[in-house]
Amino acid sequence: MEDFGQIALISILSHLVFIALTWWALQAIRLEKVLKANHVFQARLLYILLAIFIGSTVSNFFLDYLQWSRQLPLLLQ
Q: What confidence tens digit (pLDDT) does each residue in 15-68 have?
A: 999 999 999 999 998 877 777 888 888 888 999 999 999 999 999 999 999 999
At 1 the pLDDT is 60
Per the CB < 8 A criterion, the answer to whether 43 and 30 are in contact is: no
Beta carbons of 18 and 59 less than 8 angstroms apart: yes
73 within domain boundaries: no
* Residue at 72 is within a domain: no
The structure's pTM equals 0.84
Domain extent, residue 14, equals: 2-66
29 assigned to some structural domain: yes
pLDDT at 64: 96
User: What is the predicted pLDDT for the residue at 36?
Assistant: 81
- Residue 74 domain flag: no
* CA–CA separation, 43 and 15 (whole Å): 22
**Residue 57 lies inside a defined structural domain of this protein:** yes
- Separation between Cα atoms, residue 23 and residue 48, nearest integer Å: 7
Tell me what pLDDT residue 67 has: 92
- Count structural domains, the chain: 1
Please report whether residue 6 resides in a domain: yes
| Residue 25 located in a structural domain | yes
